[in-house]
Amino acid sequence: MQQENFIYGIHAVEELLQTRLQSVDHVYFDKDKRNPALFNLIKFCRKERLSYNLVPELRIQQLTGTTKHQGVAALCSAKPYCSVDEIQKMLSTRPNPLVILPASVEDPGNLGSIIRSSVAFGVDALLLERKNSAPLNAAVAKSSAGMLEHLCIGRPKNLEALVQDFRSKNYAVIGAEMENGKKPEEIDFSGPVVLVLGGEHRGIPPYLNKLCTGFVSIPMTEKTQSLNVSASASVLLYEISRQRKWPFKS
């Protein structure tokens, strides 16, 4: 039986209902909150004959363990991770695949922001370590503004072997470093790429660091020592997509 959890927040629940409706068991709405977006979600539940209740705000807070629920929470099965076979098959259909690997990112807010940026800038797959990484929980979904539902995310048993396989297929494995790396615009990101990011406390683990074919550092003023991992991801993914002439919305 799949583990069940709560997804909360207006955007996160909207995307969940649009992409994984069959995984949703029940939706709880704050009975006292007057918000057009919530009314639209209630209409959607009625249309799809999805079970829902109007409850006191405190009940939603008890269910989710947070006050940041925006008046809605959905009980659903957990988002499944993509298998290595699924990831490899999907990447084989892309002319120049882009994979992001945020290693040891333990903060759900940072991971959610990285997922959101990944969808915005055309990442094909995101890989996580089995240890020292935040799980795909409700806090990650909320921080990603629902974009968690739109990205292939894997958590392979042997991440090192998978990255080695990418190298054998001529992927550039680029690690993000605070200093001593090349400037983003000096690296050719036009081919297949694995972008490796270090976590908040540990940085890039040694076993992944040794697999990197190059390193990138973001130039900053002397007043700023570093960016957090999610901000760094956004900067680097923008440069990658700029080089690839990604079709941005005007």
Please report the pLDDT score of residue 4 as a whole number.
61
Same domain as 65, residue 23? yes
**Residue 51, pLDDT above cutoff 90:** yes
Same domain as 112, residue 55? no
**Residue 1, pLDDT above cutoff 50:** no
Any domain includes 248:
no
Same domain as 115, residue 60? no
Same domain as 215, residue 164? yes
Any domain includes 229:
yes
Same domain as 119, residue 185? yes
Same domain as 34, residue 14? yes
The arithmetic mean of pLDDT across residues 67-78, rounded, is 93
Cβ(128)–Cβ(154) below 8 Å = yes
Measured over the CA atoms of residue 180, residue 182, residue 183 and residue 184, the dihedral's sign is negative
Largest CA distance in the chain: 57
Same domain as 93, residue 42? no
Tens-digit pLDDT profile for residues 84-138 = 999 999 999 999 999 999 999 999 999 999 999 999 999 999 999 998 899 898 8
User: How many beta carbons lie within 10 A of that of residue 137, not counting itself?
Assistant: 17
CATH number at residue 105: 3.40.1280.10
CATH number at residue 68: 3.30.1330.30
Same domain as 59, residue 127? no
Any domain includes 148:
yes
Any domain includes 198:
yes
- Looking at this protein, which amino acid is placed at residue 146? G
**Residue 235, pLDDT above cutoff 70:** yes
Any domain includes 250:
no
Same domain as 88, residue 170? yes
Please report the pLDDT score of residue 2 as a whole number.
45
Q: How sure is the predictor about 226, in pLDDT bands with cuts at 50, 70 and 90?
A: confident
Tens-digit pLDDT profile for residues 56-68 = 999 999 999 989 9
Any domain includes 193:
yes
Same domain as 73, residue 104? no
Same domain as 187, residue 128? yes
Which of 57, 77, 97 represents a domain boundary (last residue)? 77
Which of 40, 61, 77 represents a domain boundary (last residue)? 77
Q: How sure is the predictor about 248, in pLDDT bands with cuts at 50, 70 and 90?
A: low
Domain of 188 in residue numbering reads as: 84-243
3-state secondary structure of 108: helix
Any domain includes 191:
yes
DSSP string, 124-161: -EEE--SSSS--S-HHHHHHTTTGGGGSEEE--S-HHH
Please report the pLDDT score of residue 225 as a whole number.
78
The arithmetic mean of pLDDT across residues 14-23, rounded, is 92
Query: How much of the chain, in percent, has pLDDT values that exceed 70?
Result: 97
Q: How sure is the predictor about 14, in pLDDT bands with cuts at 50, 70 and 90?
A: very high
Calculate the average pLDDT of the chain.
93
| Number of domains present in the structure of the chain | 2
**Residue 48, pLDDT above cutoff 50:** yes
* CA nearest neighbour of 101 among 44, 163, 150, 167: 163
Q: What is the dihedral of CA 128, 129, 130, 132, to 10 degrees?
A: -110
Same domain as 155, residue 134? yes
Tens-digit pLDDT profile for residues 178-217 = 889 999 999 999 999 999 999 877 789 999 999 999 999 9
Which of 53, 77, 101 represents a domain boundary (last residue)? 77
Any domain includes 249:
no
